[in-house]
């Protein structure tokens, strides 16, 4: 150690932060298994762990003096300082990178199935529904913050666009865009980067609560009506040996451990994405914040490309064994997403958003109700054969994460016999393609000038209407065809 000793706190601070996150996850899991109320609530252990750390951190903040007397949050204490960054900043860094790592791991998974015929239509409708819900959340969120601003709030009129990123895409994206809107590069936006980040992270936390509240309400109402059967007790996950080990794959513990290979793919690909983002930022210096906000997307695209190259080599018999294992990639993705959620919620600074609690609660309520009723309507009209399964999967995903959707779905479909779980996977490609305009709008609303908020609202509304035509194309055009007069 050239500049320090192994016993220096800076050497251990990062490990201590990860240790506290890990301990909070374990404690939350124990509470979930022992406390009946928490068990019934369906709240993910990672969300509960983040809320526990947030409560402790806030207590520490006010116990050490609060906003007016130099108070420090839990992770701003000396034990968690890395020297250059405070522990709270490290939590934000963990959230940012875990988003990228998680998406890369998910992108490496092999589906191994061809989607044709009716299922292809359902997959397309799934992707369109996902993007439509993002747009609906954005439209209502922007309208809400415009109204609050007109009524005298100091909130930035465009802040409502964080609703789809906090609800629809989760903690990592809410942090990315909240950081951009608080960067101070424009005369509008949030007052500070801490305010922007905490606002976005709070929206994401409210999204997880909305997933649990709305999901439990839906389950109880449907059960009372006799529409669904909720399985009592914890279901044991069923994995076959073939699913874990894989077909014609490298051994679990050869000269290099199989998990090491999977992690090497994920970490290596994500590292290459940095080089790509760096190159793009030199070509487009004015888009640097936006480019690095798309870390998860560029990492995903590189993973898909590498997966296709490896798949082509396997077909040409250049490799005797397959390298990528779905079971392990799922576990890696789950690990990163869990740590992302815990770190993201724990990084919220209560004092930075104390003036916006009315706006935040309104956004949370609007997001929950709009997502609930819109997704329920879509499932009733387009997915009648497995309406309730699809609703729970989508509602959980579009207010929390895909994992939240799976948690809700397992309550009535533990073996995933319906296509609902598959739709969550297959919809990613059409959703990414159709969702690009939303990401461009999210950048434009901040960088496009003082009137960009209203222009963004208009474009988002037009896109939403267009996607409704795509969703209901069969009903719309069939009806028009039947209304045409018969030829004489």
Of residues 286 and 379, the one with the higher pLDDT is 379
What is the distance, to the nearest Å, from the Cα of residue 254 to the centroid of all Cα atoms in its chain?
A: 35
Write the pLDDT tens digit of every residue in 257-304. Answer: 889 999 999 999 999 999 999 999 899 887 777 788 778 888 888 998
Identify which of 430, 397, 429, 438 has the alpha carbon closest to the alpha carbon of residue 107. 429
The two tokens of residue 379 are 């499932």
Sign of the dihedral defined by the CA atoms of residues 92, 100, 270, 28, in that order: positive
Q: Say which residues have a Cβ less than 8 Å from residue 79's Cβ, sequence separation at least 6.
A: 9, 13, 16, 87
CA atoms within 13 A on the CB side of 64: 15
Torsional class of 254: left (φ above 0), alpha (ψ -120 to 50), beta (otherwise): beta
The CA-based dihedral angle spanning residues 160, 162, 163, 165, taken in that order and rounded to the nearest 10 degrees: 160
Note if the pTM is more than 0.85: no
Q: How far is CA 247 from CA 123, 242, 318, in A?
A: 26, 6, 17
Residue ranges per structural domain of the chain: 9-231+338-478, 253-333
DSSP conformation class of 487: P
Contact criterion met (CB below 8 Å) for 90 and 75:
yes
For the cut 90, the answer to whether the pLDDT of residue 403 exceeds it is: no
List the single range of 11-25, 236-250, 368-382 with lowest mean pLDDT.
Answer: 236-250
Q: Is the pLDDT of residue 480 over 70?
A: no
Residue 405's Cα: distance from chain center in Å? 11
Residue 53 makes CB contacts below 8 A (sequence gap 6+) with 20, 21, 24, 74, 342, 345, 346
Is residue 119 within 8 A of residue 133, CB to CB? The reply is no
Tokens of 109: 């998974």
Q: Are 425 and 111 in contact (CB under 8 A)?
A: yes
Q: What is the pLDDT of residues 167-195, one digit of tens each?
A: 988 888 888 899 889 988 888 889 999 89
At which residue do the structure tokens 């007069």 appear?
485
pLDDT digits (tens, 9 = 90+) for 221-261: 888 888 777 655 455 556 666 667 777 777 777 778 889 99
pLDDT at 481: 55
3-state DSSP helix/strand/coil % of the chain, to nearest 5: 75, 0, 25
Closest CA to 400 of 269, 263, 215: 215
């Amino acid at each position: 150690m050239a500049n320090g000793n192994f016993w220096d706190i800076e050497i251990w601070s990062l490990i201590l932060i990860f240790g506290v996150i890990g301990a909070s996850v374990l404690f939350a899991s124990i509470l979930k298994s022992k406390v009946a109320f928490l068990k019934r609530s369906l709240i993910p252990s990672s969300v509960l762990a983040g809320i526990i750390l947030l409560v402790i951190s806030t207590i520490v903040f006010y116990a050490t003096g609060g906003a007016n007397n130099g108070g420090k949050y839990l992770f701003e204490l000396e034990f968690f300082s890395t020297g250059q960054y405070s522990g709270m900043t490290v939590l934000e860094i963990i959230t940012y990178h875990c988003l990228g790592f998680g998406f890369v791991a998910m992108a490496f998974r092999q589906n191994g199935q061809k989607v044709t015929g009716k299922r292809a239509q359902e997959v397309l409708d799934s992707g369109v529904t996902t993007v439509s819900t993002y747009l609906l959340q954005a439209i209502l969120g922007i309208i809400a913050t415009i109204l609050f601003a007109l009524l005298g709030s100091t909130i930035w009129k465009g802040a409502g666009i964080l609703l789809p990123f906090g609800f629809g895409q989760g903690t990592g994206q809410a942090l990315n865009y909240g950081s951009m809107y608080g960067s101070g590069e424009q005369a509008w936006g949030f007052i500070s980067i801490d305010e922007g980040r905490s606002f976005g992270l709070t929206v994401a936390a409210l999204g997880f609560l909305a997933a649990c509240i709305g999901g439990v309400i839906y389950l109880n109402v449907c059960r009372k009506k006799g529409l669904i059967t909720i399985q009592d007790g914890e279901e044991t996950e069923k994995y076959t040996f073939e699913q874990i080990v894989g077909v014609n794959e490298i051994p679990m513990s050869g000269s290099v451990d199989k998990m090491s290979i999977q992690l090497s793919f994920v970490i290596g690909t994500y590292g290459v994405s940095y080089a790509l983002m760096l190159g793009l930022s030199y070509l487009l210096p004015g888009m640097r914040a936006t480019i690095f906000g798309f870390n998860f997307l560029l990492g995903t695209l590189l993973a898909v490309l590498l997966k296709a190259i490896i798949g082509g080599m396997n077909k040409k018999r250049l490799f005797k064994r397959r390298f990528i294992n779905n079971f392990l990639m799922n576990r890696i993705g789950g690990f990163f997403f869990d740590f992302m959620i815990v770190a993201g919620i724990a990084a919220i600074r209560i004092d930075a958003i104390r003036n916006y609690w009315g706006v935040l609660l309104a956004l949370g309520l609007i997001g929950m109700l709009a997502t609930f009723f819109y997704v329920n309507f879509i499932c009733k009209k387009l997915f009648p054969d497995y309406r309730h399964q699809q609703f729970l999967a989508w509602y959980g995903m579009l207010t929390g994460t895909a994992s939240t959707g799976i948690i809700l779905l397992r309550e009535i479909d533990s073996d995933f016999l319906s296509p609902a779980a598959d739709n969550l996977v297959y919809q990613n490609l059409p959703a990414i393609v159709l969702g690009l305009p939303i990401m461009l709008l999210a950048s434009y609303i901040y960088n496009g000038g003082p009137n960009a908020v209203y222009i963004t609202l208009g474009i988002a509304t037009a896109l939403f209407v267009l996607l409704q035509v795509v969703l209901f194309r069969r009903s719309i055009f069939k009806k028009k065809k039947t209304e045409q007069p018969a030829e004489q």
